[in-house]
Every structure is written in structure tokens, then in C-alpha cells.
Amino acid sequence: MVKMRRLGKTDIELTPIGLGCMQFAGTANITRLIIRPIDQEPATAVVRAALDGGVNWFDTAEMYGGGRSEEVLATALKACGVRPGQVSVATKWTPTGRTAASITRTIGDRLRHLGGFPVDLHQIHMPTGSLSSIPAQLKAMAGLLKAGRIRSVGVSNFAARQLELAHRVLASEGVTLAANQVHISLLHRNVERDGVLETARRLGVTLIAYSPLEGGLLTGRFHDDPALARTAPVMRRFFGRKELSAAGLARTRPLIDELRAIGQAYGVSVSQVALNWLITRYGDTVVAIPGASKPGQAAAAAGAMGLRLTDAEVGKLDALSLR
């Protein structure tokens, strides 16, 4: 049995690994530039594999197709026989060019797209872009919570100082800040240096690690076949050009080799060791939301929860990931 993790100081219990659902945003959405979009049928198969592997929560967003990802997720959950309340769903409000009033105005859309599944966690997608202040946005979120329309409040991409501010504003409303969703992986450990990890621990806020596999780099597939990099979505190719170059792959190869060696000893894959490092290294503070475009990927991600890396293995990966 996988030990659950508490979402912030709420009574919501999450498995250490959830499923990221950006790939359900559809082919017309901007996210197609960073991820391979999949249709309803494969999405249902991916959700089924995650559920079969024990995953009990899903992360989506308004920005992922303006409701499409939420709808595809809800349809998939229903097709798998899941009823509202049996899993947790996290979604996000898009701040770009909008005032805080739109948080209140659009919650009906979120709930409609989710087709009966409640919003267990509602997140402000990013700290920038809104026409209203961060305090005004959080007060609107607190209002939704008090009105019983969402179960908890989170933020995403917030720096340490913004996290403190969000916590303070919500506390003044008698509400706790449950989570900050940020980029964390073996190759992206900024939270250890920029104060986000320390602040989250002190405030009792869960960190939700996004892009935990670096879009597949931490599966070893580009190291095994560098030509695959040419088939990656355009933004991944552009922003990841350093990591995906011959020199970049050579730099991270010792890490991949070690992930593979540890994985072989346990009979698991490179990606499973990388994900287990993430949910072990930071204790209960971090949970992860790998994406998956195939059922096997979702099954592998869920399977990463069944592994128990030793302190020595975690330390070895720590050292290699910083080279």
C-alpha cells in the first residue's frame, strides 16, 4: 500500500504521484508546442492505467484547451467507473489579462467542464499577467472556498516571497495555502536554492513538481537515440536545445547511467528511479505529476511509488544531477 501524503494542511490525501493532464488539451491548443496532444480514447486508456497503478489524483488547468483537458479527464474518469469524490482533481485559473473577479466568474465553467467532479484544489496558474494584485486574487480564491465551491487553494510558479504573501493573505481570511506547483526534477533543483522549498516546509505548503521527467529526457530515451530529439514538440526542442544537444546529452549521461544501474538492481526503469528520487528526496513536502501520452508511461509512473531508494542511492543521484 502506498502511503498517502496530506495536501498542505488540508484533509485531502494524495498519492505521492498524480497524473499531469496537459496532453488532453487538444490539437488546437498552444500546449501542443510543448506536449504531444492525445484524443479521448487514448486519454481514457492513460487515465485507466494511472488508476490501476494506484494514482488517486489528476492535475489539469483552464489553460489546457479552455476546458478541454478538464472535460477529457472527467469523461475518462467516468468511463473508468470513477465517481465524483473517489479521486481528487486539481485545476487552475488563467490570470493573463484578467482581474480577480474572473476567478469567481469562471468557477462555474471549471465545474461544468469537470462534469460533476469537484475542484479539490484550485490554483492560480502563475503570479504574473493578471490585472489585479496577488492579494486580490487570493481573496477571490478564499471566497470560493468559503462558498464551498472549491476544497482548497493553491498557487503555481510562485517565488518564495510571493508564497509568503499568498500565505499571509489567505491566513487573514482564515484559509490555508495548500500548494505551490513548480518545476522540480533531478535536472531542475532550483527550489533548493531560491527559498521555495524552505518556505513551503515552514508554512506547511505542499510542492507539486511539474515536468518531473523533463519531457522524457529523464527516461533516457534521448540518450539511447539522440535522433529522437528531432521529433520532440517544437518548444521542447527550442528551450531544451542545450540539454538535447550532443554535448548536453553527454553531460547528463552519467546521471542516466546511474539511474539505469539502480533501476536494473530493482527491476525498474530509468524514469521510475528518477520519479522515486523526487518523491523521496524532499520527504512529504513534494508530490509529482508526470505527464503520459501512452498507458505504459502512466503505468510506469504509478509503479515508481512502489520503489524505496536508499539514502545512499538518493545521495549518489543528488551528486550526479548537479554536475
Cβ nearer to ligand NAP, comparing 31 with 280: 31
Shortest Cβ 111–ligand NAP spacing (Å)? 19
Shortest Cβ 4–ligand NAP spacing (Å)? 20
What is residue 283's DSSP assignment? G
Cβ nearer to ligand NAP, comparing 1 with 231: 231
From residue 230, alpha-carbon distances to 35, 80, 181, 222, 271 in Å are 14, 35, 29, 10, 20
Binding site for ligand NAP (CB under 6 A): 20-23, 35-36, 59, 156-157, 181, 210-216, 219, 221, 271, 289-293, 297, 300
Cβ nearer to ligand NAP, comparing 35 with 100: 35
Cβ nearer to ligand NAP, comparing 146 with 226: 226
Cβ 312 vs Cβ 320: under 8 Å:
no
Choose among 208, 175, 150: nearest CA to 14: 208
Cβ atoms within 10 A of the Cβ of 28, count? 11
Shortest Cβ 22–ligand NAP spacing (Å)? 3
Residue with cell 490554483: 123
Shortest Cβ 259–ligand NAP spacing (Å)? 12
Distance CA 89, CA 151 (A): 10
Residue with cell 510558479: 157
Cβ nearer to ligand NAP, comparing 36 with 260: 36
In which element (H, E) is residue 93 found? strand 88-93
Q: In this structure, is the dihedral angle defined by the CA atoms of residues 146, 152, 155 and 160, taken in order, positive or negative?
A: positive
Shortest Cβ 213–ligand NAP spacing (Å)? 3
User: For this structure, is 64 an active site residue?
Assistant: yes
The strand ranges marked E within 173-253 are 177-183, 206-210
3-state secondary structure of 179: strand
Residue least distant from ligand NAP (Cβ): 20
The residues carrying an active-site annotation are 64
